[in-house]
């Protein structure tokens, strides 16, 4: 799919891309390219999915180019069957005074591995990387993000939240990289994980690579179980333990979901509810 938005054209309704993968033992290699010219603005929602019984090997590439004063919001929702394997390599370049917002949603595949590198090439650029992921059964989800500052006076933020249950495993690696001339950088990275039982595992690896002075860069990472005091409080107000757990888990993910485009709120919340069921 190639999407090109000319100079100073603003599209208010989202473009919707749907990849329905079908067949057993099938290889798929979708490639998405989005080019935003100067001052252009658009929203793209991409879904990759398959039926429950189908086995897909999906190797996706994505390229995003946001020129000066442009804006792109891209949402990718992956929900392939549990038998499938998914790989993704994405790269984004963000120009002067432009904005790129990206949401990565991972529900499907037995093995999922992705890498997103976003480069702030112009001063005044703004980068916002978000993600939610939920591993169960024996799913393995491995996500890497790179916030690279190649120009001064630019901002970036990564905010990823995940959960693991049964024998699911998640790995998140986040890197903030600041080049020598990228002074007055403001960058932050946050990763929070819920481990819902003893057989599940979540690894969080935040990293900083700072090659200059006069910057503000930091990261935070938490991994743990549901808060017993919060559970006790809800149960003291009439919730069953199951209802209390579900409420806290939904609130955990809503922290990210409600910051995204309204067109995907109900879909993401419903999918998480199904996973909890």
Q: With helix as H, strand as E and coil as C, how does 5-23 read?
A: ECCCCECCCCEEEEEEECC
pLDDT given for residue 24 in this prediction: 86
DSSP conformation letters of 162-187: EEE-TT-EEEEEEEEEE-TT-TT-EE
pLDDT tens sequence across 256-272: 999 999 999 999 999 99
276: nearest Cα among 220, 194, 211 = 194
**Rg value, the chain, Cα:** 19
pLDDT given for residue 23 in this prediction: 84
Phi-psi region of 57 (alpha: psi -120 to 50; beta: other; left: phi over 0): beta
pLDDT given for residue 232 in this prediction: 94
Q: How confident is the model at residue 66 (pLDDT cuts 50, 70, 90)?
A: very high
SS3 272: helix
pLDDT tens sequence across 119-176: 999 999 999 999 999 999 999 999 999 999 999 999 999 999 999 999 999 999 999 9
pLDDT tens sequence across 12-27: 999 999 999 888 899 9
In this predicted structure, the answer to whether residue 274 has a pLDDT above a threshold of 90 is: no
What residues does 132 pair with on adjacent strands?
Answer: 105, 161
Decide the pairing of beta strands 26-28 and 155-164: unpaired
Cα separation, 126 vs 128, in Å, equals 7
DSSP E strands, the chain: 2-5, 15-21, 26-28, 31-36, 41-50, 56-66, 71-79, 85-94, 99-106, 111-120, 126-135, 140-149, 155-164, 169-178, 186-195, 201-210, 216-224
DSSP 199: T
In this predicted structure, the answer to whether residue 116 has a pLDDT above a threshold of 90 is: yes
pLDDT given for residue 128 in this prediction: 97
Q: How confident is the model at residue 276 (pLDDT cuts 50, 70, 90)?
A: confident
236 sits in which H/E element: helix 228-236
Is residue 209 within 8 Å of 179, Cβ to Cβ? no
pLDDT given for residue 22 in this prediction: 87
150: nearest Cα among 198, 75, 207, 212 = 212
pLDDT tens sequence across 82-100: 999 999 999 999 999 999 9
Q: How confident is the model at residue 52 (pLDDT cuts 50, 70, 90)?
A: confident
pLDDT mean across residues, the chain: 95
């Amino acid at each position: 799919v190639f999407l090109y938005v000319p100079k100073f054209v603003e599209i208010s309704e989202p473009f919707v891309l749907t990849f329905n993968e079908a067949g057993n033992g099938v290889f798929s290699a979708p490639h998405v390219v989005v080019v935003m010219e100067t001052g252009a603005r658009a929203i793209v929602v991409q879904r990759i999915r398959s039926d429950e019984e189908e086995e897909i090997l999906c190797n996706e590439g994505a390229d995003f180019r946001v020129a000066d004063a442009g804006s792109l919001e891209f949402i990718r929702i992956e929900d392939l069957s549990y038998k499938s394997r998914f790989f993704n390599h994405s790269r984004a370049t963000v120009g002067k005074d432009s904005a790129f917002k990206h949401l990565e949603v991972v529900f499907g595949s037995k093995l999922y591995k992705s890498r997103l590198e976003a480069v702030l090439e112009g001063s005044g650029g703004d980068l916002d990387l978000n993600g939610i992921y939920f591993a169960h059964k024996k799913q393995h989800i491995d996500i890497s993000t790179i916030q690279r500052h190649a120009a001064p006076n630019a901002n970036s933020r990564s905010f990823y939240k995940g959960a693991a249950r049964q024998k699911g495993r998640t790995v998140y690696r986040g890197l903030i990289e600041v080049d020598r001339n990228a002074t007055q950088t403001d960058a932050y990275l946050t990763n929070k994980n819920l481990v819902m039982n003893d057989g599940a595992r979540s690894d969080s690896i935040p990293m900083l690579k700072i090659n200059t002075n006069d910057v503000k860069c930091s990261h935070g990472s938490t991994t743990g179980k549901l808060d017993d005091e919060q559970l006790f409080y809800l149960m003291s107000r009439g919730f069953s333990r199951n209802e209390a757990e579900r409420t806290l888990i939904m609130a955990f993910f809503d922290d990210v979901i409600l910051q995204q485009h309204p067109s995907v709120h109900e879909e993401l919340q419903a999918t998480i509810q199904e996973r909890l069921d």
